[in-house]
Amino acid sequence: MLITGVSGCGKSTLALALCGLIPSRIPGEMRGQVMFRGRALSGLKPHQASQLVGMVFQNPNLQLINQTVQSEVAFGPENLALPHHEIVSRVSWCLEVTGMEGMRKASTITLSGGQKQRTAIAATLAMKPQVLVLDEPLSDLDPVGAQEVLATLQRLARSEGTAVVIIEHRVDEVAPWADRVVLMDKGRVVLDQPPRQAWADPGPWARTGVGVPDVVRLAHALPDAFGGALPLSVEEAAQQLSGTWVVPALAQAAAARAASADLRARLEPEPAPDSRPPVLAWEDVSVEFDGKRAVSDVTLQVAEGEFVALIGANGSGKSTLVSLTVGMGTPSAGQVFFRGQPVRPGKVFEHAAQVALLLQAADEMLFEDSVIAELRFGSKFRALPPDPVLDVEGAIEFFGFKGLEQVSPWELSQGGRQRLALGALLVGAPGVLVLDEPTTGQDAEHMQSFLRLLDAIRSRTGLTVVAVTHDIRGLASRAERIVALSDGQVRLDGPTHHVLGQIDELRQCGVLSPPLPRLQSQLLGHCDDVLLTVADLAAAVSACRPEKVGGI
């Protein structure tokens, strides 16, 4: 079962009530009862409830208490004082079904995000719950890692009979796996149906601001092409569309785009080479941690005003690469340049005036007791340029903090705190904005509002933006250029509509291309220039429908 809804709609609260932690551990007024096979869960102690309904929390780092994978999984059964043979058998079973058997003795702090999440699932399963509730289990995972976790959960549901409840914003990825979809809004369930029925009417989704899978939106945009049956996955959509008018129309639209690009290339004069140095440049950069290479011989340039997305699996070296631009970390070889000047390792304060780096954990970047003080924080310690594009007053207006100047940052929503951290960085008038996973864990509405904000910042300031992201469908698709990394090396680098069409190459980088490029690739065999939005795709194929083409 997929439970979704905007941030703050009550999903996580419902999950805590489902597993009995509300009201037993979190105070509050609770009316009604959570029943498990006719038995009230609210009367049970947490350890009793957890043997019926297990919960996997959002952040795996905070729920792994022990030092090794096997001791983590054994923790629950040991607490229940089960006999040795029973503990051994439960641990082996849990590690096997979660695919962690090979990592049994690994230290938990050395695991990747996906492995930590699977360990947390295994540890919860060791209590032998009949229902497993997972609160945003995919938020820290790359798309391939997310698919691994979802496959594990489906295996549990199908072969072990465990009911799985997933609370998630990333509906595109969960949709093909779910048997039932629950939509929540303002603490209430507004929809509870099987997926095809749930998404048959886009009305409730639009009203609540919750994202709908791209293939579903495409089916709504081209109803006659899909023949009424709603696809939930790219494979289903491709199956339904193969043999229909959409495939030749899509091919014709792709050929027309290629011809148009070719014509433009021949007619338009070659742009004069930019005499300015690139705003950021990595030259033969390698980085090693404890003898292991995180980044290997990377040469990359970012031009003034560009919007570049860095994508890749967890641990591919994306964050390491961008952190070098502010002097965080030291390259073992090569050098990083900002506007032609070398970036000096360790001189973070010095380089932070030029490159604004917004960390994934934006909360860690807030230090003051009011919004206004937060925006003035940088100017207390460093002289700002005399005529900044965005001053403190301008930032209050631009980021929507009018009337909230004296409010504590901790009273703002998560999105508000992120906006505040971003605004505080931009008041410093940097030359480049570097974003590290800025949309992680955000619902569709917050993500869209962040993307709109980014567009507004770029159009107002002309700022160069480099974003590290797993959010290929949202943030990366907005970029002008995508750089895909794997094992610390650049594997793909080019315009977004071209790179996202390299499905197999991206998969080798541990990245799953968004549904629409994958659909176009499946239908056409290979597509070098993919359309990225439902509106563009629907318009392109509609324009090339056979009857319209015949009429031209």
Partner 1 sequence: MQNILVRTILSYLILFGTPMLLPVLFIKLVGLGGIRDLVTYEPRDTPLHKLDPRLKVLYPIGMGTLSIILNWDFMLIVFGLTIIPWFWLKPSRAKIRVLMVLVIGPAIAGFWSQGLYYLPPAPIHFLWQFPWTLSWMGSPGITTYGMVFGLQQTARVLVTVSTSMLILISTDVGDFTWAFERFRMPPAVGFAMTAALRFLPEMVARTTLVLRAVELRGYDMSRPKFIQFTRWPDYVRRLSRAIVIITVPLLVGSLRGTTTMAMVADARGFGVNRRRGSLIEHPLTRYDIAGYVILVGLVVTAIVLRIFHIGARPY
User: Interface residues for partner 1 in 360-389 (CB under 8 A)?
Assistant: 361, 363-367, 377-379, 381-382
CB 249 within 8 A of CB 546: yes
Binding span for partner 1 by CB under 8 A among 48-56, 223-231, 438-446, 457-465:
48-56
Residue 65 near partner 1 by CB under 8 A: yes
Among 410, 525, 547, 551, binds partner 1 (CB under 8 A): 410
Residue 68 DSSP one-character state: B
C-alpha R_g of the chain: 25
Binding span for partner 1 by CB under 8 A among 121-129, 204-212, 453-461, 535-543:
121-129
Residue 25 near partner 1 by CB under 8 A: yes
Concatenating the DSSP letter of every residue in 78-114 gives HHTT--HHHHHHHHHHHHHHTT-GGGTT-BGGGS-HH
Residues 271-300 that bind partner 1 (CB under 8 A): 290
Residue 422 near partner 1 by CB under 8 A: no
Least spacing, CB of residue 5 vs partner 1, in Å: 21
Contacts of 528 (CB under 8 A, 6+ apart): 258, 498, 501
Residues 426-455 that bind partner 1 (CB under 8 A): 428
Helix (H, G, I), strand (E, B) or coil at 162: coil
Residue 88 near partner 1 by CB under 8 A: yes
d(CA 330, CA 345): 5
Residue 127 near partner 1 by CB under 8 A: yes
Q: Which CB sits closer to partner 1, 222 or 355?
A: 355
Q: Which CB sits closer to partner 1, 60 or 510?
A: 60
Residue 77 near partner 1 by CB under 8 A: yes
Binding span for partner 1 by CB under 8 A among 4-12, 105-113, 194-202, 292-300:
105-113
Q: Which CB sits closer to partner 1, 55 or 392?
A: 55
Q: Which helix (H) or strand (E) holds 337?
A: strand 333-338
Residues 311-370 that bind partner 1 (CB under 8 A): 326, 328, 346-350, 352-353, 356-357, 359, 361, 363-367
CB 301 within 8 A of CB 324: no
Scanning 19-162, the segments in alpha helix (DSSP H) are 21-24, 46-49, 60-63, 69-79, 84-97, 113-125, 143-155
Position of tokens 């983590």?
Answer: 72
Q: Which CB sits closer to partner 1, 24 or 542?
A: 24
The distance of Cα 501 from the centroid of its chain, to the nearest Å, equals 19
Among 27, 31, 38, 81, binds partner 1 (CB under 8 A): 81
Q: Which CB sits closer to partner 1, 80 or 251?
A: 80
Binding span for partner 1 by CB under 8 A among 45-53, 463-471, 503-511, 537-545:
45-53
Residue 54 near partner 1 by CB under 8 A: yes
Among 29, 62, 265, 266, binds partner 1 (CB under 8 A): 62
Least spacing, CB of residue 139 vs partner 1, in Å: 14
Least spacing, CB of residue 465 vs partner 1, in Å: 16
Burial code (b: 16+ CB inside 10 Å, e: under 16) for 34-65 equals: bebeeeebeebeeeebbebbbbbbbebeebbe
Residues 147-206 that bind partner 1 (CB under 8 A): none
CB 72 within 8 A of CB 108: yes
Among 14, 15, 17, 21, binds partner 1 (CB under 8 A): 21
Least spacing, CB of residue 359 vs partner 1, in Å: 6
Long-range contacts of 383-390 (CB under 8 A, 24+ apart): 384/427, 384/428, 384/429, 385/429, 388/427, 388/429, 389/429, 389/460, 389/461, 390/423, 390/426, 390/427, 390/429, 390/460, 390/461
Residue 159 DSSP one-character state: I
